[in-house]
């Protein structure tokens, strides 16, 4: 199934990251072939840090995917065409603790060397974790940020070195 994808350089993604992440959304996936989980994400970024091409994503400790992110050395970010909006909404509102949400969303997992991604994606970014940082409320410089955390369940931010990009 991987043959529908072509490998590309991170520099050639060529899509607006604000739209790609903040509007189109992504699936953040971690784990192994035997056990993995995915969740919809709309917070993160693409850039350069420590002379590496990196992707960042944020995951709350209350999310089931957090357990997989903590155990895994790698993760994927998958981006889809608009026709998959319902699947992304489902993956963002349903817990993998309760159901096989990948199957319920109609997605097909592809098992890469170190990551899991989805055959239906239009863009896949495979990352190796290189850093994480817990969001600390005492570091908010503007008070409105705390409004995103009524339950005080502050995210953990993961920085991953981009190891491979795949595109249709």
pLDDT by residue, tens only, the chain of 168 residues:
446 899 999 999 988 999 999 999 999 999 999 999 999 999 999 999 999 999 999 999 999 999 999 999 999 999 999 999 999 999 999 999 999 999 999 999 999 989 999 999 999 999 999 999 999 999 999 999 999 999 999 999 999 999 999 999
The pLDDT of residue 14 is 86
Contacts of 119 by beta carbon, 8 Å cutoff, 6+ apart? 1, 4, 107, 108, 109, 110
The pLDDT of residue 15 is 83
Q: How far apart are CA 121 and CA 105, in angstroms?
A: 13
Task: Give Dmax (Cα) for the chain.
Answer: 48
The pLDDT of residue 2 is 44
Cα 116 to chain center, whole Å? 11
Q: How far apart are CA 40 and CA 8, in angstroms?
A: 23
The pLDDT of residue 3 is 60
The pLDDT of residue 152 is 96
Q: How many domains does the chain have?
A: 1
β strands within the chain, DSSP E? 6-8, 26-31, 36-41, 44-49, 52-59, 74-79, 109-111, 116-118, 123-134, 156-167
Q: Is the pTM of this model over 0.85?
A: yes
CATH of residue 121's domain is 2.30.110.10
Domain that holds residue 84: 2-167
């Amino acid at each position: 199934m991987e043959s529908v994808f072509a490998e590309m350089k991170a520099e050639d993604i060529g899509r607006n990251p604000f739209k790609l992440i903040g509007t189109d959304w992504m699936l953040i996936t971690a784990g192994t072939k035997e056990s993995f989980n995915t969740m919809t994400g709309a917070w993160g970024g693409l850039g350069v840090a420590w002379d590496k091409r990196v992707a960042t994503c944020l995951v709350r400790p209350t999310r089931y995917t957090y357990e997989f992110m903590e155990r895994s050395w790698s993760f994927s970010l998958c981006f889809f065409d608009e026709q998959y909006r319902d699947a992304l909404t489902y993956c963002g509102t349903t817990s993998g603790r309760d159901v096989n949400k990948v199957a319920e969303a109609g997605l097909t997992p592809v098992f890469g060397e170190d990551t899991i991604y989805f055959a239906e994606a239009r863009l896949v970014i495979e990352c190796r974790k290189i850093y994480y940082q817990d969001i600390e409320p005492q570091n908010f410089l503007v008070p409105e940020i705390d409004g995103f955390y009524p339950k005080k369940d502050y995210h953990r931010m993961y920085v991953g070195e981009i190891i491979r990009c795949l595109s249709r």
